[in-house]
Amino acid sequence: RPVVGVLALQGDVREHLAALREQGAEPVAVRRPEELAAVDGLVLPGGESTTIVKLAARFALLEPLRAAVRGGLPAYGSCAGMILLADRILDAPPDQETVGGLDVTVRRNAFGRQVDSFESEVGLGLDGGPLRAVFIRAPWVEEAGAGVEVLGRVVGGAADGRIVAVRQGNVVATSFHPELTGDRRVHELFVDIVRRHLAERAGCAHSGAAG
Ligand code: GLN
Which of 15, 16, 177, 188 is catalytic? The answer is 177
**Residue 125 carries which side chain, given as an amino acid letter?**
G
Residue 102 alpha carbon to ligand 1 centre in Å:
17
Mutate to test the pocket of ligand 1, among 79, 91, 141, 174 (most ligand atoms within 8 A of CB): 79
The question of whether 79 is a catalytic residue gets the answer yes
The question of whether 179 is a catalytic residue gets the answer yes
pLDDT at 202: 87
Going residue by residue through the chain, which has 211 residues, state the pLDDT in tens, using 9 for 90 and above.
999 999 999 999 999 999 999 999 999 999 999 999 999 999 999 999 999 999 999 999 999 999 999 999 999 999 999 999 999 999 999 999 999 999 999 999 999 876 789 999 999 999 999 999 999 999 999 999 999 999 999 999 989 999 999 999 999 999 999 999 989 999 999 999 999 999 998 888 776 555 4
Other CB atoms within a 10 A radius of the CB of residue 97 amount to 17
pLDDT at 207: 66
pLDDT at 211: 43
Taking the C-alpha atoms of residue 31 and residue 35, their distance in angstroms, rounded to an integer, is 7
pLDDT at 112: 83
How distant is the alpha carbon of residue 145 from its chain centre?
17
How distant is the alpha carbon of residue 47 from its chain centre?
12
**What are the extents of the domains in the chain?**
3-210
Is this model's pTM higher than 0.90 or not?
yes
Q: Which atom of ligand 1 is nearest to the CA of 45?
A: 8
- For residue 110, give the DSSP letter: T
- Which residue, among 43, 39, 36, has the nearest Cα to 14 in the 3D structure? 43
CA distances from 195 to 23, 77, 169, 188, 211 (A): 11, 18, 14, 11, 24
Provide CATH code, domain 3-210: 3.40.50.880
- The phi, psi pair for 50, rounded to 5°, reads -60, -40
63 touches 33 (CB < 8 A)? no
Taking the C-alpha atoms of residue 164 and residue 150, their distance in angstroms, rounded to an integer, is 8
How distant is the alpha carbon of residue 1 from its chain centre?
20
21 touches 13 (CB < 8 A)? no
